[in-house]
């Protein structure tokens, strides 16, 4: 992906999240100088497998697993400090030295325990299928201009005053939502006082660091979390996350201008999954869905929730290609389809009897669409050891060609297993 003219690339999920971005970013980070997270929070959960070790990274960019890479957590992220430190500790325990390689934007907002209480209370009434980690309420506070940011910890007195007001407000809301839980101010203050000395040395003007790196032609990966269909503007609203997961969000959330970004790689599974309660037009019938789930290990990295599984939905990926301005696709988990005799692809929808090639804005309409399927022959042989496109079975190449044609963007990578080396560059 990187070349003399393409030095800053955004990597985004182009379905409903969990596409395997962690693995792709891990592979690409080998050639990068900086890896940046720009939105979301500890609800992300990238899984990276190196040798026998599996790393689940929720907030720290997966680039951290490469010793030469500097990682930034951008202003667009909502940071859960306790989780960050447990993630850092577990990396250190496993021999990954992060010293001097991780910086956090001083403009990033904090997710605090009262956000989690509010999340749990509102999930009870709204049933959106959130991860309950306080991400939504933290973004609500950010846009309500009552958030607490990393920079506020530099003046702990000021942070204490802000907390007094915020905890009081949270408790009023909890009462309104008929929750019996209450946030404890002293516990919040003690927590921030304990965490500040560890957090502040990592705090930096991340946008400035990134700007300088881009100017110096350093290779930058902007690592998205979740996927296009979970974007708060472009996703299946209201079954979405609270941030802009699409490429436009990368500029805002990393603190650089959009013209600094040279390319966009969309990660898609060779099939479709979704966790949460929204519509999933190409959801597979029971035995096939169950089989995809079992073969693909489709259970949430953070929550352990079983994911809903179905066939590749080209309408979704075409849409994601457009709203992200993608310049390439990485197709992951091709190996999961190795044993299927026939593989349907949803090419477009039928809505109220009419053919429909674009994503409807209304979630209710998306719930009613009938996918139009094209059924391709499976290859019924293992692909996990293939390293060249030409060595893939003919039917697998035909499948990828069809995905590429329907999505309107070239396939640049194909992932055929969880390991770092199980990747084909086209």
CB closer to ligand GDP out of 56 and 156: 56
CA distance 328 to 14: 11
Helices 394-407 and 314-324: crossing angle, nearest 10°?
50
How near is the Cβ of 46 to ligand GDP at its closest, in Å?
Answer: 4
Q: How far is the CB of 87 from ligand GDP (least distance, A)?
A: 14
Query: Cα Rg for the chain, rounded, in angstroms?
Result: 21
Candidates 15, 39, 43, 47: give the one binding ligand GDP (CB under 6 A): 47
Q: Is 379 helix (H, G, I), strand (E, B) or coil?
A: coil
Distance CA 18, CA 36 (A): 18
User: What single string gives the DSSP state of each residue in 317-372?
Assistant: HHHHHHHHT-SEEEEE-GGGGTT-SEEEEEEEEEETTEEE-S--S-HHHHHH-EEE
Annotated active-site positions, please? 18, 46
Residue 58 binding ligand GDP, by CB under 6 A: no
- Cα–Cα distance list, 100 to 54, 64, 202 (Å): 23, 11, 8
- Binding span for ligand GDP by CB under 6 A among 193-201, 236-244, 367-375, 414-422: 414-422
Residue 71's SS3 state is: strand
133 near ligand GDP, judged by CB under 6 A: no
Q: Is 26 in the site for ligand GDP (CB under 6 A)?
A: no
Least gap, CB of 150 to ligand GDP (angstroms): 24
- For residues 219 and 307, which CB has a smaller minimum distance to ligand GDP in the complex? 307
336 binding ligand GDP? (CB under 6 A): yes
Residues 3-22 contacting ligand GDP, CB under 6 A:
13, 18-22
Instruction: Using CB under 6 A, count the residues that bind ligand GDP.
Output: 21
- 417 lies in the binding site for ligand GDP (CB under 6 A): yes
Chain positions 268 to 297 lying near ligand GDP, rule: CB under 6 A, are 297
| Tally of CB atoms within 10 A around 147 | 21
372, β-bridge pairs: 348
Site for ligand GDP in 305-334 (CB under 6 A): 332-333
**Binding-residue pattern over the window 374 to 403 for ligand GDP, x denoting contact by CB under 6 A:** ------------------------------
∠ CA 31-33-334, rounded to 5°: 40
For 10, 38, 190, 254, 421, the CA distances from 107, given in Å and listed in that order, are 21, 12, 22, 10, 37
Give 160 or 419: the residue with its C-beta nearer to ligand GDP: 419
CB of 15 to ligand GDP, least distance (A): 9
Residues making contact with ligand GDP (CB under 6 A):
13, 18-23, 45-47, 49, 297, 301, 332-333, 335-336, 415-418
């Amino acid at each position: 992906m990187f070349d003399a003219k393409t030095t800053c690339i955004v990597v985004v999920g182009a379905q409903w999240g969990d596409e395997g971005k962690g693995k792709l970013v891990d592979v690409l980070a080998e050639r990068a100088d900086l890896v940046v997270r720009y939105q979301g929070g500890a609800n992300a959960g990238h899984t990276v497998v190196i040798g026998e070790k599996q790393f689940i990274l929720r907030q720290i960019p997966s680039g951290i697993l490469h010793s030469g890479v500097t990682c930034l957590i951008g202003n667009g992220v909502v940071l859960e400090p306790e989780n960050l430190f447990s993630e850092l500790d577990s990396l250190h325990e496993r021999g990954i030295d992060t010293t001097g390689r991780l910086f956090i934007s001083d403009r990033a907002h904090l997710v605090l325990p009262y956000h989690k209480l509010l999340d749990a209370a509102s999930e009870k009434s709204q049933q959106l299928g959130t991860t309950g980690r306080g991400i939504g309420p933290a973004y609500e506070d950010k846009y309500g201009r009552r958030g607490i940011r990393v920079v506020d910890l530099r003046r702990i007195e000021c942070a204490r005053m802000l907390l007094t007001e915020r905890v009081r407000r949270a408790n009023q809301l909890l009462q309104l939502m008929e929750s019996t839980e209450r946030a404890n101010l002293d516990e919040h203050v003690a927590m921030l006082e304990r965490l500040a000395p560890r957090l502040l040395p990592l705090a930096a003007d991340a946008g400035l660091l990134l700007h300088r790196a881009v100017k110096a032609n350093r290779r930058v990966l902007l690592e998205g979390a979740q996927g296009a269909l979970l974007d708060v503007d472009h996703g299946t609203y209201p079954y979405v996350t609270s941030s802009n997961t699409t490429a436009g969000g990368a500029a805002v959330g990393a603190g650089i201008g959009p013209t600094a970004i040279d390319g966009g790689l969309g990660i898609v599974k060779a099939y479709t999954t979704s966790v949460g309660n929204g519509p999933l037009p190409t959801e597979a019938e029971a035995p096939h869905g169950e089989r995809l789930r079992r073969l693909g290990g489709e259970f949430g990295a953070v929550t352990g929730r079983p994911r809903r599984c179905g066939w590749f939905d080209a309408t979704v990926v075409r849409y994601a290609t457009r709203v992200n301005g993608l310049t390439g696709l990485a197709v992951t988990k091709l190996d999961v389809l190795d044993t299927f005799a026939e593989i349907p692809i949803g090419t477009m929808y039928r809505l109220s009897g009419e053919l429909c090639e674009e994503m409807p804005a209304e979630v209710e309409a998306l719930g009613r669409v009938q996918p139009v399927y094209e059924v391709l022959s499976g290859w019924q042989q293992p692909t996990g050891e293939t390293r060249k496109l030409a060595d893939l079975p003919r039917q697998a190449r035909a499948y990828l060609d069809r995905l590429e044609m329907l999505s309107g963007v070239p396939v640049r990578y194909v992932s055929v297993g969880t390991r770092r080396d199980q990747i084909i560059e086209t």
